[in-house]
Amino acid sequence: MNPPKQSNSQNSTVVVKDINLISKLSLLACFSVVLIGFFSSYARYLSRNIPTPVTTSPIPSKVIQEPENQSNRLLLPNVDSKNFIAKVVEQVQPAVVDINIARTVQAQPLNASELRLYQWFFGEMAPQPQEKVVRSSGSGFVINPDGHIITNAHVVKDADKVTVSFFDGRTFEGKVLGVDFITDIAVVKISATNLPSVKLGSSDTVQPGEWAIAIGNPLGFQRTVSVGIVSGINRSAKQLNISERHVGIIQTDAAINPGNSGGPLLDAKGKVIGVNTAFIPDAQNLGFAIPINTALKIARELISQGKAEHPYLGIEVKTNNNRNIFGMREQGVTIIHVAPGSSSQKAGLQVKDIIKQINNQTVNTPDEVLRLIESSSVGSSLHLQLQRKGRTLQVKVKLDCLPTSS
């Protein structure tokens, strides 16, 4: 029975050896954990007491882009470069002028009660009214190197002497070539050549929200710059009491004040889009400018013939309030007056005629009629589609020149 005893002894030996191996491995693992903890603590100690160097890496070029050098990129937000407004001012300012006016006015005579009071105090006849010189100022801008300057008609109205001053200090005596109070445009000429002049834009493409820059001399502060946007277009000058006729004008929130009159309204590229003409004093940032296309048309006539002609149809109209069988307002405008002797009377137009179309364009307001008239020229003809007592008529009317009395 010895063989079984040998087998148990061998098994015990194997078990003891396995236990010893496991013990050694456990001790080695514990020792490793202790070493790892020691080195970790030492590393934390070093990190708290030894400053670590700070390194910087360049910002990727795609995060911040340099301004592109493109012709249509106007705003360059670099501290080393001027913004587009400063560039526009630098470009245009030499062609913007101060216009100083001197006019002689007759003092008003005393009324009856003032005359009696004067005689009671002084016991003598009242002195005769004396003339006095009134001075005022405005702005303008040179449109060509030969010395033609656009300004407002109300700036140079009844002027006896006009003095034009430039940014560089030069001063010239000016001559008023003509004024047009319907559009509030005037042209002044000075005897000089090779003058700095503005670049002219087109007011036909102006849209609300575009940049608007005004340069002028408000309240004596010479060459003041104000900036805003185009707030509206085609505002009625008649409704704003700027003109007795419809002139579609530009509205801007760029500051316009007394003295800005006649100065340029510029776009973001420094091109003139309007002539500053008026503001509403009881409101904030409500200024108005005559579109440059209108101003140039008038200026050319003032330069060539000393006056401007405006087409005249000779009728007065109102919005048509008639209703159809469905209760909807009918299209067109109703004639409420035909001027005696006008081309409209000669063509047979009558009160209560309803104008449906002018030159194949539907009209529904008086302003639309006036706009089509103003866009035509004296001597041209308009084709009117009328409705008279249920009948449709086609009438051709020649445009006269607006009488001075009108």
Q: Which of 137, 139, 197, 261 is catalytic?
A: 261
Percent of the chain topping pLDDT 90: 55
Give the residue, 323 or 290, on which the prediction is more confident: 290
User: Using one digit for the tens of pLDDT, what is the confidence trace for 102-152?
Assistant: 988 776 666 666 666 656 556 566 566 667 778 889 999 999 999 999 999
Please list the alpha-helical segments (H only) found in 217-351.
Answer: 292-305, 343-346
Nearest-5° angle of CA 159, CA 162, CA 164?
A: 150
Q: Residue ranges per domain, the chain?
A: 95-108+130-190, 199-305, 311-401
C-beta of residue 228 within 8 angstroms of C-beta of residue 252: yes
Q: Which of 137, 139, 180, 184 is catalytic?
A: 184
d(CA 211, CA 190): 31
180: annotated active-site residue: no
37 pLDDT above the threshold of 80: no
d(CA 194, CA 15): 117
Q: What's the rounded mean pLDDT across residues 256-274?
A: 94
By the 10 Å C-beta count (0-12 exposed, 13-18 middle, 19+ buried), 107 is classed as: exposed
148: annotated active-site residue: no
Same fold, 95-108+130-190 and 199-305: yes
Kindly indicate the confidence band of residue 228, based on its pLDDT and cuts at 50, 70 and 90: very high
Beta bridge partners of 179: 186
CATH number of 311-401: 2.30.42.10
97 pLDDT above the threshold of 80: yes
For residue 19, give both structure tokens. 């236990």
Average pLDDT, the chain: 81
Q: Which of 154, 165, 367, 376 is catalytic?
A: 154
62 pLDDT above the threshold of 60: no
d(CA 285, CA 292): 21
CATH superfamily, domain at 95-108+130-190: Trypsin-like serine proteases (2.40.10.10)
Give the residue, 57 or 163, on which the prediction is more confident: 163
199-305: in CATH 2.40.10.10: yes
Give the residue, 261 or 220, on which the prediction is more confident: 261
CB count in 10 Å sphere of residue 173: 10
Determine the residue type at 201.
Answer: G
Q: What is the CA radius of gyration of the chain?
A: 42
Q: Tell which residue, 406, 282, 289, 396, has the closest CA to residue 340.
A: 406
Q: Tell which residue, 200, 149, 203, 213, has the closest CA to residue 177.
A: 149
pLDDT at res. 96: 97
| Rounded-to-10 torsion of CA 163, 164, 165, 170 | -90
45 pLDDT above the threshold of 50: yes
d(CA 319, CA 68): 52
d(CA 279, CA 289): 9
Tell me what percent of the chain is helix, strand and coil, each rounded to the nearest 5: 25, 30, 40
pLDDT at res. 114: 63
Reading phi first (left if > 0) and then psi (alpha if -120 to 50, else beta), residue 213 is in beta
Kindly indicate the confidence band of residue 332, based on its pLDDT and cuts at 50, 70 and 90: very high
Q: Tell which residue, 285, 178, 294, 160, has the closest CA to residue 237.
A: 294
310: annotated active-site residue: no
